[in-house]
Amino acid sequence: MSQEIEKSKRESQLYEKIEKLIVLAHQRVVSSVNLIMVHTYFGIGQYIIEDEQQGMLRADYGDKTLKGISEKLSAKFGKGYSERNLRNMRQFFLTYQERAIWQTASARLQTTENKDIEISHRPSSEPQIQDVPSQKFNNLSLSWSHYLILMRIENPDERSFYEIEANNQHWSERQLQRQYNSSLYERLALSRDKEKVMQLATEGHQVEEPTDLLKNPLTLEFLGLSESSVYSETDLETAIISKLQLFLLELGKGFLFESRQKRFTFDEEHFFVDLVFYNRLLQCYVLIDLKTNKLKHQDLGQMQMYVNYYDRYVKLPNEKPTIGILLCKEKKDTLVELTLPHDTKIYASEYKFYLPDKQLLKQKLREWIDEFEKRKGEEA
């Protein structure tokens, strides 16, 4: 009997190993196909631009040519080569042409077919494809669906930020679209020091200190609640738990969920933390308390007690100090600043049940950057 159990166990382990290998192979095949398609579309866009430049004397040249090419390609290869999609390929090349390897599209495709590549920016000498062991950010390594979203973002710094994050965080097309719609770039930029705003475009969202976790406001439109509805803190907590994956996406990098209504006791009295997370990047606990009304100084004092308890009785010696976040419907910055010490690890952030006004946030960010650059100029 024991031999049969051992045999069954070995068979199960062998199956799991083979299954993982096959799944990995399928993933690599899909990734390779996507990469080849993206570089093919980039090359098509390049050919279209070069052809337009040769025929620029006729105003209707591009329209007639693309229509004719679309009909021929669709007849031979089927879907995917509509006139609209050819225009997308044209725009794709125009948007990312600084990354082009300045050789023929067919030569680029032959190299892409068998190797991971890094596409370098155009230097003073002739650029070339460099073999690298792994893809880097400046490679066009996302799917075509991702680039259809990215190339419509006019601000190159903002576009660069979303591309870095989509690569690093393995965002799906839907997740990328949601993060853009929720103005993640603007909310992160407006929640940190002016000196760090430009880093978002070159490095993405770097989590190195507690303030890097903050977004103001936190956008919770995916919960399906409305600003005008009547709901309790329990209702809000339950809605968050039911959409935990989306909530983790909104919180940002490195968050792991541990518990809801985490109880701890001292002096024969029970206390409950609404949501307990751990951030693996900062190596610390993150406690979140939900407030459905205006933030009060008593709420800040209560969170201070929660944080102190975790620091003294829960966190390990090698872990960083606990962070407390009060997620509230309304806060006053002056109240927070006067109540808490300067070296606090407690923060307050508002939440909204609707996507923010992107144009308003863009305007605020422009004003902020202009003010920063003006001050830097005066200092110089």
Residues 226 and 350 reside in one and the same domain: yes
- The torsion region of residue 240 among left (phi > 0), alpha (psi -120 to 50) and beta comes to alpha
Among the residue ranges 41-55, 81-95, 186-200, 216-230, the one predicted with the least confidence is: 186-200
* DSSP category for residue 80: T
pLDDT at 302: 93
CA distance 190 to 362: 10
If asked whether residues 232 and 351 sit together in one domain, one would say yes
| Residue at 193 is within a domain | no
**Number of folded domains that form the chain:** 2
What phi and psi, each to the nearest 5 degrees, are found at residue 230? -95, 120
Query: Are residues 234 and 349 located together in one domain of the fold?
Result: yes
Task: Supply the pLDDT for residue 51.
Answer: 81
344 and 234 co-located in one domain: yes
Q: What average pLDDT does the segment 300-304 reach? A: 92
Question: Considering the domain boundaries, does residue 127 fall inside one?
Answer: no
- Tell which phi-psi region holds residue 337, choosing left (phi > 0), alpha (psi between -120 and 50) or beta: alpha
Q: Considering the entire predicted model, what is its pTM?
A: 0.72
Give domain status of residue 255, yes or no.
Answer: yes
Q: So what's the pLDDT on residue 55? A: 57
Is residue 128 assigned to a domain? no
Structural domain of 269: 218-355
Closest CA to 69 of 48, 91, 97: 48
Band the pLDDT of 63: cuts 50, 70, 90. Answer: low
Report the CATH number that the domain containing residue 323 is assigned in CATH: 3.40.1350.10
Q: Confirm whether 90 is domain-assigned.
A: yes
Instruction: Establish whether the linkage from the previous residue to 217 is cis, with ω within 30° of 0.
Output: yes
The residue out of 91, 118, 145 marking a domain boundary is: 118
Q: Is residue 175 part of a domain?
A: no
> Looking at 118, 152, 181, which one is the last position of a domain?
118
For the stretch 100-146, pLDDT in tens is 654 444 444 555 444 443 333 333 333 333 333 233 334 688 999 99
Asked if residue 72 belongs to a domain, the reply is yes
Kindly state whether residues 222 and 351 are assigned to the same domain: yes
Inside any domain, residue 316? yes
Percentage of residues in the chain having pLDDT higher than 70: 83
Residues in the chain, total: 380
List CB contacts of 46: < 8 A, sequence separation 6 or more: 93, 97, 100, 105
Least confident of 60-69, 87-96, 247-256: 60-69
Helix axes 61-77, 2-54, angle to 10 degrees: 150
Among 118, 153, 170, the domain boundary falls at 118
